[in-house]
Amino acid sequence: MLDMTLTKLKNQEFENVEKTCFDIESRLKGIGEIKSRNVFATAYLAYLVADNKLQNTKELSNYVETELSFEQSLFLKECIGNLWSVAIEIAHDYTVENLLATILWMPISNRRSEPNSETPESIVNLATRILNINNEKVADFCCGVGNFLINAIEQDKNSKYYGIEINTHYKEISNIRLNLISDYTEIEQGTVFDLNMDKKFDKIFCDYPWNILKHNTGINKEKLQEFESVVPEIKKVVKSDWLFIMNVERHLKSNGKAVVIATNGTTWNGGIDKKIRERFLKMGLIEAVISLPANLYSTTAIPVSMIVLSKSNKMVRMVDARSMASVGRRQNVLSNETIDQIVHMMTEDTENSKCVTFEEIEKEDFAINPSRFIYTEAEVENGIPFGNVITNITRGAQVKASILDEMVSDNPTDYQYLMLANIQNGIINDDLPFIKSIDKKLEKYCVKNNSLVISKNGTPAKVAVVSVPEERKVLANGNLYVIELDETKVNPYFVKAYLESENGGIALSRIMVGAVMPNIPVDGLKKIIIPCPEKDKQNKIAEKYLAKIDEIKVLKYKLSKAIAEMETIYEEG
């Protein structure tokens, strides 16, 4: 067991961990492909040598066989191979404290080729602060290599800790780590859905595997039926995200609190997700939602959300922390000061946080992503729903790349093809690719003059107005919405100018759905409010906008000409 406090050990040795890991890896030659678990196992064996004053590989092997569990012994043998002498060498070169710190805090999922097994320290620190653990029963569902539990023990060593992990290697790593620092831990191997429903906890943390299919979770029929009795819509889910969240809620005591890490899509996806969120809200199970910055994980750059669960909630606290990251060497982090700010925002309204009612959430189709409520559009003068001035809206043609290659013409024709890549800074390139002809089946995807095009995917949205000569036909591709406007009511360039403004950008961002690749749904697009003043005012703004487009085109021409001239200066000299 550890003699000094975890905080003291961390402050004293943490900076040396990376160097120690690098040294161990460099010595593990001959073991084949070296993974993080190989480095971990070697550090642990070296720690056993140093802590128990073992003299040689025979004594070390005997200690592993007699003093450790069969599962732990098997894990170490798999990871170290026949290089037991390396552990002896390392034990002679490092202190017990340095080796212990390496075991506890070395990164296990620091390579994108390895599956994610640990929650970033930033998220763990924030979760621990929000849960405020104090002499309670605490669980980590899908505990991975035990990062959350280590941090929680550092904050409160008197609580009883439980972890469950399906991966054999990660379970052993977690077990090794926690047994070194606490007598009050239990780590089991298995799926979280096998837990007896009578097992309840005061505090739960869960960073589950995102977006896996329901049939790959191993959830048994009885557990699924129990979930369905509370939330019937669970029966229809394809992906497992809400199964994991539901499982956490079912194992939470009546006065307990849980923190779950989910993809952003879980907070705003439509369909079944929307209906499940509605159920959770009406049952008072969601206390808060925190939008976290992108690139906090070492294995993925996508942003995630922290959902705080508890019972009998009447409102939901929304916190937008997306822009609060500090840029680290390999990934973003949340500094201690930032975590303090987020914890403060959990109790106070600020420019990045507020409490919202269920009625407000219902107006947003039961989406619970904070940006829907914190960054509201400014009141739009003479505002109308965008759909009121749309006469037709279609998605571009779904043309396979191989077919498109056959359609492309090297010579100018009366037919051209518009792709998302052809729109730069709100301007459509003059040199759209030519195509030989357009099949009659695809003519309905041709863009009419003065149509507005908006990118379906990605953020920020791209917006442009297409100018199509009478003798020309332009085919739009599938990543674009083509919108025909009632020009008796709105000037297309006026609408474009608004959608590219700060308020217009916020309006578009608030309707986007999807986690990895945000996209704009047609229904949401029709509902956003746009200004619709008198046509004279619209035309004046549109004229100014067109004048700036012409100015940009002239500048681009001058720039390209200057670059071309610069490349011939030597020959001219």
Render pLDDT for 10-24 as a digit per residue (tens, 0 to 9). Answer: 888 888 888 999 999
Confidence of residue 376 (pLDDT cuts 50, 70, 90): low
b/e map of 238-257 (b: 16 or more CB within 10 Å)? ebbbbbbbbbbbebbeeebb
Render pLDDT for 395-405 as a digit per residue (tens, 0 to 9). Answer: 888 888 788 88
Choose among 130, 53, 171, 518: nearest CA to 343: 130
Is residue 201 within 8 Å of 256, Cβ to Cβ? yes
Alpha-carbon gap, residue 158 to 156, rounded angstroms: 6
What is the sign of the dihedral through the CA atoms of 459, 508, 332 and 244?
A: negative
Render pLDDT for 153-202 as a digit per residue (tens, 0 to 9). Answer: 999 999 999 999 999 999 999 999 999 999 899 999 999 999 998 999 99
Render pLDDT for 77-86 as a digit per residue (tens, 0 to 9). Answer: 999 888 899 9
pTM to 2 decimal places: 0.74
Q: Is the pLDDT of residue 110 over 60?
A: no
Residue with tokens 């599962």: 71
Residue with tokens 């084949």: 32
**CATH number of the 383-556 domain:** 3.90.220.20
Q: Is the pLDDT of residue 133 over 60?
A: yes
Q: Is the pLDDT of residue 112 over 50?
A: no
pLDDT (0 to 100) of residue 364: 81
Is residue 414 within 8 Å of 471, Cβ to Cβ? yes
The mean pLDDT value for 462-479 works out to: 87
Half-sphere exposure of 348 (CA within 13 A, CB side): 8
Residue with tokens 């732990």: 72
CB atoms within 10 A of CB 94: 22
Q: What's the whole-number average pLDDT of the chain?
A: 89
Architecture of domain 121-374: 3-Layer(aba) Sandwich (3.40)
Tokens of 494: 């006026």
The domain ranges of the chain are 6-105, 121-374, 383-556
